Amino acid sequence: MTQSATSKRRIIFHIDMNCFYASVEMAHNPELKGRPIAIAGNPEERKGIIVTSSYEARAKGVKTTMPVWQAKKLCPNLLLMRPNFDRYREASRAIFKMLSEITPLVQPVSIDEGYLDITDTVGMGTPIEIAEYLQQRILKELDIPCSLGIAPNKFLAKMASDMKKPLGITVLRKRELSTILWPLPIEEMHGIGKKTAEKLRKVSIQTIGDLATHDVYQLKQILGVNGERMKNLANGIDYRLVDPEAVHDFKSIGSSQTLAHDSTDWDELHQLLEELVNNVARRVKRKSATGKSVQLMIRFHNHQTITRSKTLQGYIDEKEDILFVAKELLKTHWNEEPVRLLGVSLQNLEEKSQVGEQLDLFTYRDNAKKEKLYETMEKLTDKYGEDIFLSLNSEKDKEQPRTSFQKDFLDDYKKP
């Protein structure tokens, strides 16, 4: 089934689960309902970061990405929980299965949100009736609240879904932009981050309406190629289709983690670098991908953040190769100031099947050595099953969630 031509007025939903991780935990254990709870990667240490929290916790000032110590200071009775990713994946798959029963045109964008194109959906009522049906079914069967935005394109649907939470349904029509969308502060526009908002405010762009009417030439000077695109979005112009296959698109795979304390210890930084690279390499293998650029991110004790990358002549996917480049970048660009966070990503990715293996004098010998090992592993896998080879980090990965879980979920997503 193909999507309607862009000349036909489209009906797009954006669906977003409310406090998803916390809501799943409350559905699993109803005694948590009404209490201020938060999901954190490592509740016992400073490096624990709030992943999400219930509305009761948010009312006390608890926010996503806030350090655990700060959240506890704002809300002393905050109940901290480690994430249960298997539980969240199971709930998410059930949700997307329900969505796919409405239309095959479902595009997941993360574990807890996605777009639907219901333009050609017939026999299920009006768009609002379909939205109410989905919202109530998810709440009744999974006990998870969600909000939906209904609009003629993806951008407006996304903006609409954020306007009423929890359990909101908002319709945003193009003729309502001047009264509903344009008065909003510029930082509330999807795609505008804090730094971009600061740049725009310097040229007197305070609201989304200011952006919609601003000179496009000056916007290009400030935002580059995104200047015209952001102005179009502010005017409700967005021709992007709901693409079920977009979930499989990827150009980089990365992992980052905050240290338990600001560190100048090379051995400690190197150990963390190894853990991050292991995580990246695992996900690269899972996607049968290979890349030719390694990027390192360093956040210092004063929150200053730098990113440095190196593009290689050939493609790599082995953790040893990724680690070698990452270490070189760290040695070259670390100024020995205390480090708070490290991040590593493999970029310029391609599917291995699309890239011919590029062997040189440095990699040929290693590949030749590994060939017999791979043959032996394949024979044992055929005989005993796929689970006999477990990564030494598999249990550790469950205990030390990284910041890439949303992408990990998308790796696993399969249309029902």
Annotated binding site: 16, 112
Q: Give start and end residues of each alpha helix (H) in 143-245.
A: 154-161, 194-201, 208-213, 216-223, 226-234
Catalytic residue among 113, 187, 318, 378: 113
132 is catalytic: no
Helices then strands, counting H and E runs in the chain, come out as 15, 13
Nearest to 243, CA basis, from 86, 108, 367: 108
User: How big is the chain, counted in residues?
Assistant: 416
**Could you give the CA distance from residue 19 to residue 219 in angstroms, rounded to a whole number?**
34
User: Are β-strands 37-40 and 79-81 bridged in parallel, bridged antiparallel, or unpaired?
Assistant: parallel
Evaluate whether 52 touches 20 at the Cβ level (below 8 Å): yes
Neighbours of 44 (CB within 10 A): 11
Gap between the Cα atoms of 175 and 180, Å rounded: 10
β-pair partners for 298: 306, 342
Annotated binding site for Mg(2+): 16, 112
Q: How many other β-carbons are positioned within 10 Å of the β-carbon of residue 110?
A: 17
Tokens of 316: 């790599």
**Contact call for residues 236 and 153 (beta carbons, < 8 A):** yes
For residue 150 the two structure tokens come to: 């209904």
What residues act catalytically? Answer: 113
